[in-house]
Amino acid sequence: LALLGAVVALLLFAGAAVWAWGVFLDRCEHDPGRVRAVMCLGVFGATALETALVAHGAVRSWVMWVSLLTNFWGALDAVLRFPAAHDLESFFSLKQLFLLLTKTFSFGLGMVSFKSHLWLLLFLLVSNIWMWPMLYFMALPMDEAEQVVKDDAYDVDVLIRVWQLAASATERQVCLASCRSWWYRRLALASERSSLARVAICATSARHRRALRKVGRNV
């Protein structure tokens, strides 16, 4: 009876998550950057939860390394390449399926006490493993013209991108410039929405302070 209740609760949880995700996608249908950011937070949250389970002794320690590998090479790689679409027979799709199966068996075998943590295993299988592909497919744009990234350089396996960053000084400079540009865009957006944030940002960022002064003179 307890197991049946846990299954029903998981189904309700999955249904609520799919509904909430659908509402969010309706609002951000043509904003892949925002969808990508939310999915990225989800990957980090799932990783933090799985690490916490290992720390509390519910899961064996070796599972954490499998989790980090599958979350980095699988989920994070998919998020960084979103909204690029891939064929089912592509290396990307086969890799994702292999990593999902690997993570599933790892958590199944890595539970310290299978009987006492069965409900926890079911929760992980639903929330942290098999629900992710469905949410990812839901997020892909319906228009095939939008199922591409702005630059083909972003539709590259994350391990290759890490190798390029480690081996090429030019790639590191480009990545640093991109991160800096993203950071200043967020600062500008925050300063536009809140006067308090503008004061705090200007007090800590000389570049942003000069930019605001320039805008003020132009006005």
CB distance 158 to 73 below 8 Å: yes
Give the pLDDT band of residue 98 (cuts 50, 70, 90): very high
Per-residue model confidence (pLDDT) at position 201: 65
The amino acid occupying position 160 is: I
Higher-confidence residue of 182 and 28: namely 28
Give the pLDDT band of residue 181 (cuts 50, 70, 90): confident
Give the pLDDT band of residue 219 (cuts 50, 70, 90): very low
Per-residue model confidence (pLDDT) at position 150: 58
Q: What is the pLDDT of residues 28-85, one digit of tens each?
A: 878 888 899 899 999 999 999 999 999 988 899 999 999 999 999 999 999 988 888 8
Give the pLDDT band of residue 204 (cuts 50, 70, 90): low
Cβ neighbour number for residue 160 with a 10 Å cutoff: 10
Quick one: which of 145, 186, 127 has its CA closest to 32?
145
Query: Look-up: residue for tokens 């679409």?
Result: 85
Q: Give 117's DSSP letter.
A: T
Q: What is the pLDDT of residues 167-179, one digit of tens each?
A: 888 878 887 887 7
Q: Which of 2-11, 78-87, 101-110 comes out lowest in average pLDDT?
A: 2-11
On the question of pLDDT at 152 being above 80, the answer is: no
What is the C-alpha separation between 71 and 189, in angstroms, rounded?
30
What is the C-alpha separation between 96 and 115, in angstroms, rounded?
29
- Whole-model pTM above 0.95? no
On the question of pLDDT at 158 being above 80, the answer is: yes
